Structure 1
Amino acid sequence: MESSSEKPLVLVTGASGYIGSWCIAKLLDTDKYRVRGTVRDHTDKSRMEILQKGFGDYFDQIEFVSANLQDEDSMKSAIEGAKYVLHVASPFPLNSPKDGEKEVIQPAIDGNRHMLNACVGSDVKKLIITSSCVAVQDFWENPDKVSNHKTFVKERKDHTPYYKSKIRAERYTYDFLDNLKPSERTFEVMMINPSFVTGKALLPRAEGTSLSLIKNVLENKLPGVPQKYFANVDVQDVAQAHVNAIEKGKDGGRYPLANGNYKFLELMLVISEEYSDQGYKILNKEISKILAWIVSFFNKDVAFFLTCWNIKAEVDGSFAAEELGIEYKSMKESVLEACKSLIEFDLVAKP
């Protein structure tokens, strides 16, 4: 039997995040790896208590280190001795900030740059980067064609900072690799591109964009339901894809994850059917395009929604499912598991 010290070390950035926490749990489920997770400050007692509550018996098996994506030296220190890296951490705001370039776009690019530089000359054999389906799902150039792992969304002026951050961070990564000397290219790199992520929260917090959205749905805090389509994937499927990519992923691979395409109204109706009888007030009507147009003068995010209003632009997640051995959970099951976990963690106001 392989001793713990002989197991390869996997570094997971963003250990306290929605996806990162599940990546760690899935890695430990395999009993094949040692795991090191990065957090902003591993001496923060309140944050570590949240992690201990969420990870339970796994907590003592995880090595937590402080690291800053904007600090290359901390990245080099974090990956020391690691054979594999799951680079999950990246800015993901619920609403576009005032300075998107400074707060979202540049940090995402810097995070990839510092991680790539840290991997050069290290023991790392595979770097698996969490990108996003926003760099894949093309509502604009070819909305009638199904987007897949070969589809690259072109940046538009009216894209939100989050969209720009993912598009540019991917582009930077590929340019970086193209410019590496053969002697420096000692590690494989691949992209995981999750679509809109739902599913059970592992940690008792609702700081991620999708969990915050579902929390707002249950608390009836949304101003309206936009006529917008989204591709969906369960958070545990996303984590499993990262773990499986260690053994099954191919160098240069790009893996969009999607179990199908839905309108936001469908998500609302799933929640309404389950929770309306329990006293939760769930919106179940879409707002008109005219109303959205009026609001867009005061809200840049709504203005962006209008560029892809009522356009389906499907995403094909079958390539990742086949290559990485993923069986997608349904949107309904995933959304309801998200709701249940938020309620059980007491993160949703009682109706």
Structure 2
Amino acid sequence: MEAPPPATSSTVCVTGAGGFLASWLVKLLLSKDHYVINGTVRDLGKKTFDFISVDIIATAVTGTLNVLRASHEAKVKRVVVVSSVVAVFNNPNWPTGEPFNEDSWSDEETCRKNEEWYPYYLSKTLAEREAFEYAAKTGMDIVTICPALIMGPLAYSTYKY
């Protein structure tokens, strides 16, 4: 039988909880006494995505919108979307030396020209844009994090789902 959560607990949903960054977030939150964690993980029985396949684009956008809709229905206060630097930096028209900000987006056509990586670049760009459009329509508080490179030790040596 599980122990009941502390009286002042906050519930946090971490999507992709088995991933590198999210697993560290889960570990940090679990080290605190006042968080109850709900995590989502991918189906380990399915193949990982193929960078050549455009299906990845629809999956990223649909998955992001599904999480936002569920969060909105559950009256979640804030959603933090972990995206990628590829959603903002791949734009040849962005002024040289100008820092990337909320107004910078990767150019969709430029993403498509980079044939090897374009599904990933485009999926991150479109998913983040959709997230902000959804936030504008619903009034949700959405924050994005766009890391360029994540590396370091694994939070857990093995995963059991």
* TM-score of the two chains, using structure 1 as the length reference: 0.38
3-state SS of paired residue (2:28) = helix
- From the superposition, tell whether residues 139 and 123 of structure 1 become closer, same or farther in structure 2 (CA, over 3 Å): closer
The answer as to 2:96 corresponding to 1:144 is yes
Separation of aligned partners in 2, 1:115 and 1:7: 22
Q: Which AA in structure 1 matches 2:157?
A: P
Q: Which AA in structure 2 matches 1:36?
A: N
| Identical positions, percent | 29
In structure 1, what is the equivalent of residue 121 of structure 2?
163
In structure 2, what is the equivalent of residue 233 of structure 1?
none
Separation of aligned partners in 2, 1:40 and 1:198: 21
Shift of 1:32: 3.0
Shift of 1:143: 6.8
Shift of 1:27: 1.3
Q: Which deviates the most, 104-113 or 170-179?
A: 170-179
Structure whose residues are more often helix by fraction: 1
* TM-score of the two chains, using structure 2 as the length reference: 0.77
The gaps in structure 1 that reach 5 residues or longer are 48-91, 206-351
3-state SS of paired residue (1:162) = helix
3-state SS of paired residue (1:39) = coil
Cα RMSD over matched residues? 2.5
Contact 2:8 2:34 in 1 (8 A): no
The answer as to 2:96 corresponding to 1:96 is no
Separation of aligned partners in 2, 1:113 and 1:139: 24
3-state SS of paired residue (2:17) = coil
Deviation readout 1:84-130 (Å, 9 max, x if unpaired): xxxxxxxx85x623x2x21x111100011111211223231111111
3-state SS of paired residue (1:204) = coil
Contact 1:112 1:169 in 2 (8 A): yes
Alignment of 1:70-219 (within 5 A): 96-97=51-52, 99=53, 101-102=54-55, 104-138=56-90, 140-142=92-94, 144-150=96-102, 151-155=104-108, 156=110, 157-159=112-114, 160-180=118-138, 185=139, 187-204=140-157
Q: Which runs of 4+ in 1 moved over 6 A?
A: none
The gaps in structure 2 that reach 5 residues or longer are none
Separation of aligned partners in 2, 1:170 and 1:190: 10
Alignment of 1:198-277 (within 5 A): 198-204=151-157
Contact 1:28 1:35 in 2 (8 A): yes
Deviation readout 1:162-201 (Å, 9 max, x if unpaired): 0000111111112222333xxxx3x411111111111111
Separation of aligned partners in 2, 1:195 and 1:145: 17
Deviation readout 1:33-71 (Å, 9 max, x if unpaired): 111222246xx8xx9xxxxxxxxxxxxxxxxxxxxxxxx
- From the superposition, tell whether residues 189 and 136 of structure 1 become closer, same or farther in structure 2 (CA, over 3 Å): same
Q: Provide the aligned length of Structure 1 versus Structure 2.
A: 146
Which structure carries more relative contact order (alpha carbon 8 Å, separation 6+)? Answer: 2
Q: Which AA in structure 1 matches 2:150?
A: V
3-state SS of paired residue (1:172) = helix
Q: Which deviates the most, 120-129 or 7-16?
A: 120-129
Separation of aligned partners in 1, 2:36 and 2:128: 28
- From the superposition, tell whether residues 19 and 153 of structure 1 become closer, same or farther in structure 2 (CA, over 3 Å): same
Separation of aligned partners in 2, 1:109 and 1:124: 20
Contact 2:60 2:123 in 1 (8 A): yes
- From the superposition, tell whether residues 37 and 5 of structure 1 become closer, same or farther in structure 2 (CA, over 3 Å): farther
Q: Which AA in structure 2 matches 1:165?
A: S
Deviation readout 1:280-308 (Å, 9 max, x if unpaired): xxxxxxxxxxxxxxxxxxxxxxxxxxxxx
3-state SS of paired residue (2:105) = coil
Separation of aligned partners in 2, 1:176 and 1:36: 22
3-state SS of paired residue (1:196) = coil
